[in-house]
């Protein structure tokens, strides 16, 4: 009873920030994302009568806090099947553990697919997405292929993600620029919780359905400047909410702001590039494929960049035959 899955990370164009139900991870609003080709997690899960306890190894290390979240997720799978066996989980990211890059989306998507399959379940894409969401909200968007919509829903059964366009529908590139390798002071989960008392949240929520409609139209019609402009403003809005939370959350580092400024300068020079930023200091630059070289060239002069990872839109979670143990 062993299975291995690989799942991509994803970046949201319209973001998930705030929950209607914290425990079930039902978001305040729907969101739109794309899967990233070069940031992924591979996970092997085995249920075995030979094991006397659960064991979780992530990037060759046993982290207690992370391990507990993984075991809670395995318990959800055990509950679906009535399996009482212990498990061994080995998981590896293809990006460095200390790179400061969020891995909960790819980790919980890979764990959901490998775990449910090792348990003998043959879940549909929708069921996998719902289950992944319970582990980490954004993980539900790493199950389907390419460009993805997470329907916010009112109940657990109606809150899941589906593919809206295949990965090759539109040739955009997402360059993840790593500016900090430190873990953040306030976790994403805590950041979500702080939105509940933010006075600007009702205004944000009221506009989300319209934003989702617009971004889907811009992707469908491949209108890059309109698309990029909306993505960038949406990211700034998330950070406006974070900055005005209590306590305030300042996710940016000086290099994050330098790159935001560079993006504005490059646009003035005629290079169509836009940024988005999740709950951390690292920044994602979005451009059309033809402009990647020029853009990465310009990033070389910026102080504080530790690493850049060029991605294209990718498929979602997949089972693979090569196990990690």
Residues that bind ligand DP6 (CB under 6 A): 12, 15-17, 25, 31, 104, 136-138, 188-189, 192, 278-279
Closest CA relative to residue 46, chosen from 94, 91, 76: 91
The nearest distance, CB 128 to ligand DP6, in angstroms, is: 16
Structure tokens at 126: 């929708």
Taking the least distance from each CB to ligand DP6, the nearer of 88 and 192 is 192
CA distance readout (Å), 246 to 13, 21, 186, 190, 237: 25, 20, 12, 11, 16
Give 243: exposed, middle or buried? Use CB within 10 Å, 0-12, 13-18, 19+. middle
Sign, CA dihedral 93-99-105-108, equals positive
Taking the least distance from each CB to ligand DP6, the nearer of 12 and 263 is 12
The nearest distance, CB 285 to ligand DP6, in angstroms, is: 16
Taking the least distance from each CB to ligand DP6, the nearer of 15 and 88 is 15
Q: What is the DSSP letter of 225?
A: H
The nearest distance, CB 15 to ligand DP6, in angstroms, is: 4
Residues in the chain: 325
Give 64: exposed, middle or buried? Use CB within 10 Å, 0-12, 13-18, 19+. exposed
The nearest distance, CB 105 to ligand DP6, in angstroms, is: 6
The nearest distance, CB 233 to ligand DP6, in angstroms, is: 15
Structure tokens at 88: 């061994």
CB 116 within 8 A of CB 131: yes
Taking the least distance from each CB to ligand DP6, the nearer of 78 and 192 is 192
The nearest distance, CB 16 to ligand DP6, in angstroms, is: 3
Taking the least distance from each CB to ligand DP6, the nearer of 25 and 73 is 25
Taking the least distance from each CB to ligand DP6, the nearer of 77 and 148 is 148
């Amino acid at each position: 009873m062993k299975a291995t899955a690989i799942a991509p990370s994803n970046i949201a164009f319209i973001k998930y920030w705030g929950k209607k139900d914290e425990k079930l991870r039902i978001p305040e609003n729907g969101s739109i994302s794309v899967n990233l080709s070069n940031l992924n997690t591979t996970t092997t899960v085995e249920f075995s009568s030979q094991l006397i306890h659960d064991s979780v190894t992530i990037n060759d290390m046993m982290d207690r806090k992370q391990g507990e979240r993984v075991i809670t997720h395995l318990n959800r799978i055990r509950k679906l099947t009535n399996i009482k066996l212990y498990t061994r989980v080995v998981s590896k990211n293809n990006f460095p553990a200390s790179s400061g890059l969020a891995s909960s989306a790819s980790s919980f998507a890979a764990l959901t697919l490998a775990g449910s399959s090792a348990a003998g379940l043959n879940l549909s894409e929708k069921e996998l997405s719902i289950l992944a969401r319970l582990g980490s909200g954004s993980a539900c968007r790493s199950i389907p292929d390419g460009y993805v919509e997470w329907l916010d829903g009112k109940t657990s059964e109606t809150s899941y993600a589906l593919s809206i366009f295949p990965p090759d529908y539109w040739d955009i590139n997402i360059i993840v620029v790593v500016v900090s390798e430190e873990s953040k002071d306030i976790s994403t989960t805590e950041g979500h919780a702080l939105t509940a008392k933010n006075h600007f949240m009702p205004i944000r929520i009221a506009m989300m359905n319209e934003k989702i409609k617009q971004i889907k139209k811009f992707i469908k019609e491949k209108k890059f400047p309109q698309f990029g402009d909306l993505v960038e403003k949406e990211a700034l809005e998330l950070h406006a909410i974070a900055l005005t939370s209590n306590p305030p959350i300042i996710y940016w580092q000086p290099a994050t702001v330098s790159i935001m400024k560079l993006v504005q300068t490059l646009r003035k020079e005629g290079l169509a590039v836009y940024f988005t930023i999740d709950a951390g200091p690292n920044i994602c630059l979005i451009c059309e494929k033809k402009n990647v070289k020029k853009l990465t060239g310009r990033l070389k002069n910026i102080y504080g960049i530790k690493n850049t990872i060029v991605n294209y839109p990718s498929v979602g979670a997949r089972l693979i035959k090569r196990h990690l143990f």
